[in-house]
Structure 1
Amino acid sequence: MPTENRTARLTILIDPRKKAVFERLCAGEDATPSQVVRRLIRDYIEQRSGRPWHAENDPAEKSTPTSGNPHARAR
């Protein structure tokens, strides 16, 4: 799989204790926290879009019936 373009930054605030546990668990699987977060985001995108993620085939660029708010319900 080709390397993705990693130029966007995501900053989050979390509880310091959760961060410490997360970093320890990541180290236990020989992964960086960034690698794990990227995997979690990719998995989330795949679950919500119903399609495998391909960086060159960004689902956000295609029109979908649920465009806009992904949590909005049809009325």
Structure 2
Amino acid sequence: MARHRVGDSHLSDAEYSQHQKEIWLAIVFIGGVLLGGFGIHWLCPSDWPKQVRFFLVITLSIRAGTIATWLNAEF
């Protein structure tokens, strides 16, 4: 059984695989938030009040990141 060094700890194969999956899902979440935020910002009309646009962009970009993570976690 191999031991993998991550930071100050040593992980088994199963723990290291779980660690890699969590890192990948975090990257997917951040990418989904960024892409979702840019997309929503581009689609949102500029004549709406600033607070409404801000709320929509933040909420829907976090939701897009969550959906991207959920879809990627299934595979």
When Rg is computed on C-alpha atoms for both structures, the one with the higher figure is 2
**When the two structures are superposed, what TM-score results if normalisation uses the length of structure 1?**
0.28
Q: Which structure has the higher relative contact order (CA within 8 Å, separation 6+)?
A: 2
**When the two structures are superposed, what TM-score results if normalisation uses the length of structure 2?**
0.28
More helix, by proportion: 2
